[in-house]
Amino acid sequence: MGMTAEMVRAKFVECGAILEGHFLLSSGLHSPTYLQCARVLCHPEVAAELGRELAGLVGQEGVGLVVSPALGGLIIGHEVARSLGVRHLFTERVEGRMVLRRGFTVEPGERFLVVEDVLTTGGSTREVITALEALGAVPAAAAAIIHRGAGDAPLPVPFHSLLRLEIPSWVPDACPLCRRGGPPAVKPGSRNLS
């Protein structure tokens, strides 16, 4: 235990996981900065350490399982679940809806923790909560390595993160980078990234 927010940030910088440019986020927002968490989580020992830290923050929420939205939440969710000693499921988007597949099941009343790599608007986490609640499970808490949204995460459960980053993001119509007329926003991970 004991990674400070500054240590987490330093690890991301060291791994080249904080990118500058003009990005289209999965939330639909545009931003001058993108966190490429995969560049941190590709180091298994670092992923395990971050998972232990998050599990320590969540502590005694009494969760029976961890659930993550694929793809971004898979590795960190797995590591948090390993540390908590519970199973890890993931949801996938099918025709626009977040659902459990793969034969995953939950028990009615089972308490779950939602884990993502980065939480921006909280939309994916809320979708996971809705999908699992529909199956009778009970949301206990949510966690992400990084919270990059402005203000408190608008979630119906306690939320934990290892690092808070105030990174601007805008709806496309209000994006100053678009107005400036430079290169269009790119999806992170595309070949436009060097």
29 or 41: whose CB is closer to Zn ion?
A: 29
**Site membership for Zn ion, residue 178 (CB under 5 A):** yes
Which residue stretch of 1-9, 60-68, 156-164, 178-186 sits at the interface with Zn ion (rule: CB under 5 A)? 178-186
What is the separation, in whole angstroms, between the first and last Cα of the chain?
34
Which residue stretch of 56-64, 77-85, 130-138, 179-187 sits at the interface with Zn ion (rule: CB under 5 A)? 179-187
27 to 66: interface string for Zn ion, x by CB under 5 A: ---x------------------------------------
56, containing H or E segment: helix 44-58
Which residues, 157 to 176, sit near Zn ion by CB under 5 A?
175
**Site membership for Zn ion, residue 25 (CB under 5 A):** no
> Among candidates 168, 170, 120, which has minimal Cα distance to 142?
120
Q: Of all residues in this chain, which one has the CB nearest to Zn ion in the complex?
A: 175
- CA dist 145 and 149 (Å) reads 13
What are the DSSP E strand ranges found in the chain? 18-24, 30-35, 65-69, 87-94, 97-100, 111-119, 138-147, 159-164
Q: How far is CA 73 from the centre of its chain?
A: 6
6 or 173: whose CB is closer to Zn ion?
A: 173
DSSP state of 20: E
Q: How many residues bind Zn ion (CB under 5 A)?
A: 5
Contact residues toward Zn ion (CB under 5 A) are: 30, 175, 177-178, 185
